[in-house]
Structure 1
Amino acid sequence: MSNEDYRQRSLAHVWHPCTQMQDHEWLPLIPVKSAEGVWLEDFENKRYLDAISSWWTNIFGHRHPYIVNALKAQLDELDHVLLAGFTHAPAVELAERLLRLAPPGLSRCFYADNGSAAVEVALKMSFHYWRNQGQTQKTRFIALENSYHGETLGALAMGGPSMYRDTYAPLLLQPIHVPSPDCYVRGAGESWEDYTRRQFWHLDQALQRHAHETCAVIIEPLVQCAGGMRMYHPLYLTLLREACDRYGVHLIADEIAVGFGRTGRLFACDWAPPPSHDRDAQPGITPDFMCLSKGITGGTLPLAVTLTREHIYEAFYAEHKAQKAFLHSHSYTGNPLACRAALATLDLFEETRVLATNRVLTQLMWSRTEELRQHPKVAEVRQQGMILAIEMAKNARSREPYPAAERRGLRVYQYALEQGVLLRPLGNVIYFMPPYVITPKEVERMCQVATEGIRLATRD
């Protein structure tokens, strides 16, 4: 079968995600026959460098042989079994290992099957905790503007970008949104740390006014990914942890996109500096709920997990007649195959010293985008670990954006596909989130194609 055969068959029956399907009357779908490492291959043997890890999931590349072999062995033993009233080795072993790696104080794992579901678990669990504690007035949440937490209704309500949520507004919870610490909009000459500290005032004020009715604050630590890869200083995490403790509110860390090494440490929460009153403390914060997915299985199978603290678990632990149980479930909760893939992924972190290797790749991505930092139509190049974002603008000095209707990012996407590189833009933002197995030569190719594509897309 040819590429065109699969295009037509797909267009006849498949409704593709996050897509205006009419675009595919002129923008060809890319049928993928196979994949290996950082490369995708279509049915006519053209290859594409997957610079975005297929929506940020394939952190060790496609079909990593170690993960594939672990899955084959698991399939010979157990494919799936319900996790209600039953358990199995991969779910137990994965929970144990995740909790050894997670910030101290997290002691329980609740499995789900995608990132949105992990957020739903955290939201419901936080609300239900307060209810079980007799604090039924706590029914609201605080979230950051420009945040994104998923597409199911609870997660969608927490998000900020209007393009995702406005259509469904009548169906959604009404959280309290506060200004983001997004350092792209900091003042001229203002440091990331100073701007972040200044922006935290808004969240502190919201807690002062609403803590009595607030279950939790939910954030994406360090990087608001779907909101345009906007970034902020880790000081915000320290200040937020202190404030949540002070006001008696839970903290939910949505590490779905930024966990498992993407920011340069295993978890983004690990970057938080010690509080000013205890400089001898270890860096990092412990949220009350940590949501994980995407890279957890190396991008092979869907899996998500919400980690939480023992005292939260204990608030649900009671006799049946107390009606305190957390009655939330998914059919594929804790699927053995997905858990085994996650265990293999954790093995690779231990055996390959990938975080140290990534520091070299991080520096290379930065050096190979130097030309763009001087480009008259690039307002900012920013980076956090293995995430690098390039913000195109109509006027770089004033940061006047290109009108969305001009779809400048799409022009870069089309050019890059012609050159054999997958760069899926976020509006006017071109970004790299490549698999950790990318080679220096492949990094240089990725950066070269992005530079050429931006040069062409910004010609007036």
Structure 2
Amino acid sequence: MTNLNQHWMQRDIAALWHPCTQMKDHEHLPVVPIKSGSGVWLEDFDGKRYLDAISSWWVNILGHANPRINARIKAQLDALEHVILSGCSHRPVIELSERLGALAPAGLGHCFYADSGSAAVEIALKMSYHYWQNRGRPEKKRFLTITNGYHGETLGALSVGDVSFFTHTYRSLLLDVIKVPAPDCFALPREQWVSHAAARFAEMEVALARHADELAAVIVEPLIQCAGGMRMYPPEYLRWLREACDRYNVQLILDEIAVGFGRTGTLFACQQAEVRPDYLCLSKALTGGYLPLSVVLTTDEVYDAFYDDYASLRAFLHSHSYTGNPLACAAALATLDILEEDDVLAANRDRAARMARAAAPLASHPLVGDVRQTGMVVAIEMVRDRDSLEPFDFRERKGLEVFRHALSRGALLRPLGNVIYWMPPYVISDSEIDFLAEVTGEGLERVADSL
């Protein structure tokens, strides 16, 4: 390790408190100081490169230092860096709103912006709650969701999540949310996914019937429960959910913060079920991984419930200082341009097929209980016992062993507990996919050797 790498690591530990981290770990697990990025690669101050297998927390879909996004941001910087969006507007936010409304399921024509995924979820929850008040149904104020979900770490978003790693400490602060078992298809062959999801949906149906009069909305992550271990389920569940929400007069919030913009194989995951939510939450890949920006798209019906004279106090008085930031909107517009002009979704089908072939041999490893895939996401779940699917105790930190090995080999492969996953930028090459599979296999062998 060079003095330069060590220099930056020491300054980091003295001044920073890292997210989602037990800082004591860094007594024996060095922070990786990144100097630059290009394509799927990150480079430290020593010149060592790391393949960004997780798109830097699922945001960077078109590669680091993408020249077209760079150019769009630089051009915008010379014109306007920021302006208040209350009472003012600007070209990038107008153009972005128009394009998102045209690309999203028909009828989602109103965009409300924020700066993070959690903030988008907070907006959708508050908007749904407020909608029912404005419609004269104040008793409809609770939310329904599925277990093992994750929607962010602000208090409202945390309330509708169900990953205990994040929620248990703050339970007494959280909303009283109704939860039913998730339809995730862990360790099931693909041909059984729909029947399994149907059995799970029966429990959702019961909850909707029982609580319809007090429910504002249902919120779920479409197709992949990402922070919950990349658990997956079929689009049919979303179709049944939309129909049931309509029948019981309950709104539907779809959190596509992690799965939007081509990650699952379609631009938006809900398009695979041909459904339109009442609220569509987007962030992360929206700007290609460049700048913080999120948005909630909603319908005329919702918008109209807030449209009234000022004295009615029906307005949605929610705001963020950097709402609709022009630089972030410019990055988002460049991202949409690339997705469209380069026909990225079509190319992703070939990449996803290559990822499937690369991951297939891992399914026979004695410590692998499941290999699953939806679009450009592959998850390899480690278990202690393959036959019983007994998991490793979280305190054994087997995923950390894989992470350490991957870093030594030049890959940023940060597992979720015992789940190793690939969620790379869409510009990854075949040889780079094969490299990820090789490193993952080696990591599994390291875990096996440690038992």
User: Does the pair score TM above 0.5?
Assistant: yes
Q: TM-score, normalised by structure 1?
A: 0.96
Does the CA-based 8 Å contact 1:408-1:458 persist in structure 2?
Answer: no
Post-superposition CA distance 1:65-115 (Å, at most 9, x none)? 000000000000000000000000000000000010001111100000000
Code of the residue aligned with 2:316 in structure 1: it is F
Q: TM-score, normalised by structure 2?
A: 0.98
**Corresponding residue of 1:72:** 74
Closer, same or farther: CA 91–189 of 1 in aligned 2, 3 Å: closer
**Corresponding residue of 1:427:** 417
Does the CA-based 8 Å contact 1:140-1:214 persist in structure 2?
Answer: yes
**Corresponding residue of 1:181:** 183
Whether 1:191 aligns to 2:172 is no
How far residue 185 of structure 1 moved from its aligned partner, in angstroms, is 6.0
**Corresponding residue of 1:300:** 290
How far residue 190 of structure 1 moved from its aligned partner, in angstroms, is 7.2
Whether 1:336 aligns to 2:326 is yes
Whether 1:414 aligns to 2:409 is no
**Corresponding residue of 1:207:** 208
**Tell me, what secondary structure is at the counterpart of 2:401?**
helix
Task: Measure, in 2, the Cα distance between the counterparts of 1:160 and 1:297.
Answer: 27
Alignment match of 1:103 (pick from 102, 105, 127): 105
Q: How does 1:348-367 map to 2 (within 5 A)?
A: 348-367=338-357
RMSD: 1.0
**Corresponding residue of 2:86:** 84
**Tell me, what secondary structure is at the counterpart of 1:111?**
strand
How far residue 458 of structure 1 moved from its aligned partner, in angstroms, is 2.5
Task: Measure, in 2, the Cα distance between the counterparts of 1:301 and 1:370.
Answer: 35
**Corresponding residue of 2:235:** 234
Does the CA-based 8 Å contact 1:316-1:325 persist in structure 2?
Answer: yes
Code of the residue aligned with 1:39 in structure 2: it is W
Task: Measure, in 2, the Cα distance between the counterparts of 1:46 and 1:183.
Answer: 38
Code of the residue aligned with 2:61 in structure 1: it is I
Code of the residue aligned with 1:424 in structure 2: it is R
Alignment match of 1:148 (pick from 143, 147, 150): 150
Task: Measure, in 1, the Cα distance between the counterparts of 2:54 and 2:187.
Answer: 25
**Corresponding residue of 1:252:** 253
Task: Measure, in 2, the Cα distance between the counterparts of 1:369 and 1:98.
Answer: 34
Does the CA-based 8 Å contact 2:60-2:290 persist in structure 1?
Answer: yes
Whether 1:372 aligns to 2:373 is no
Post-superposition CA distance 1:15-38 (Å, at most 9, x none)? 000000000000010000011110
**Tell me, what secondary structure is at the counterpart of 2:145?**
strand
**Tell me, what secondary structure is at the counterpart of 2:436?**
helix
**Corresponding residue of 1:170:** 172
How far residue 210 of structure 1 moved from its aligned partner, in angstroms, is 0.5
Does the CA-based 8 Å contact 1:369-1:451 persist in structure 2?
Answer: no
Does the CA-based 8 Å contact 1:296-1:303 persist in structure 2?
Answer: yes
**Corresponding residue of 1:10:** 12
How far residue 151 of structure 1 moved from its aligned partner, in angstroms, is 0.4
Task: Measure, in 1, the Cα distance between the counterparts of 2:397 and 2:294.
Answer: 33
**Tell me, what secondary structure is at the counterpart of 1:8?**
helix
Number of matched pairs: 448
Task: Measure, in 1, the Cα distance between the counterparts of 2:215 and 2:360.
Answer: 44
Closer, same or farther: CA 256–314 of 1 in aligned 2, 3 Å: same
Query: Structure 1 residue runs of 4+, over 2 Å off?
Result: none
Task: Measure, in 1, the Cα distance between the counterparts of 2:113 and 2:297.
Answer: 9
**Corresponding residue of 1:276:** none
Task: Measure, in 1, the Cα distance between the counterparts of 2:190 and 2:350.
Answer: 29
Whether 1:243 aligns to 2:229 is no
How far residue 447 of structure 1 moved from its aligned partner, in angstroms, is 1.1
Does the CA-based 8 Å contact 2:187-2:369 persist in structure 1?
Answer: no
Post-superposition CA distance 1:115-151 (Å, at most 9, x none)? 0000000000000000000100011000110000000
Does the CA-based 8 Å contact 2:263-2:375 persist in structure 1?
Answer: yes
How far residue 376 of structure 1 moved from its aligned partner, in angstroms, is 1.2
Code of the residue aligned with 2:325 in structure 1: it is N
**Corresponding residue of 1:130:** 132
Task: Measure, in 1, the Cα distance between the counterparts of 2:72 and 2:448.
Answer: 46
Task: Measure, in 2, the Cα distance between the counterparts of 1:294 and 1:177.
Answer: 26
Does the CA-based 8 Å contact 2:284-2:292 persist in structure 1?
Answer: yes
**Tell me, what secondary structure is at the counterpart of 1:382?**
strand
Identity score, percent: 58
**Tell me, what secondary structure is at the counterpart of 1:34?**
strand
Post-superposition CA distance 1:195-227 (Å, at most 9, x none)? 001100111110011010000000000000000
Whether 1:399 aligns to 2:400 is no
**Tell me, what secondary structure is at the counterpart of 2:306?**
coil
How far residue 395 of structure 1 moved from its aligned partner, in angstroms, is 0.7
Post-superposition CA distance 1:291-314 (Å, at most 9, x none)? 000000000000000000001000
Task: Measure, in 2, the Cα distance between the counterparts of 1:257 and 1:369.
Answer: 22
Does the CA-based 8 Å contact 1:95-1:109 persist in structure 2?
Answer: yes
Code of the residue aligned with 1:59 in structure 2: it is I
Alignment match of 1:94 (pick from 84, 87, 96): 96
How far residue 457 of structure 1 moved from its aligned partner, in angstroms, is 1.3
Does the CA-based 8 Å contact 1:143-1:158 persist in structure 2?
Answer: yes
How far residue 453 of structure 1 moved from its aligned partner, in angstroms, is 0.8
Q: How does 1:262-301 map to 2 (within 5 A)?
A: 262-272=263-273, 284-301=274-291
**Tell me, what secondary structure is at the counterpart of 2:109?**
strand
Unaligned runs of 5+ in 1: 273-283
**Corresponding residue of 1:281:** none
**Tell me, what secondary structure is at the counterpart of 1:2?**
helix
Task: Measure, in 2, the Cα distance between the counterparts of 1:259 and 1:378.
Answer: 28
Q: How does 1:45-64 map to 2 (within 5 A)?
A: 45-64=47-66
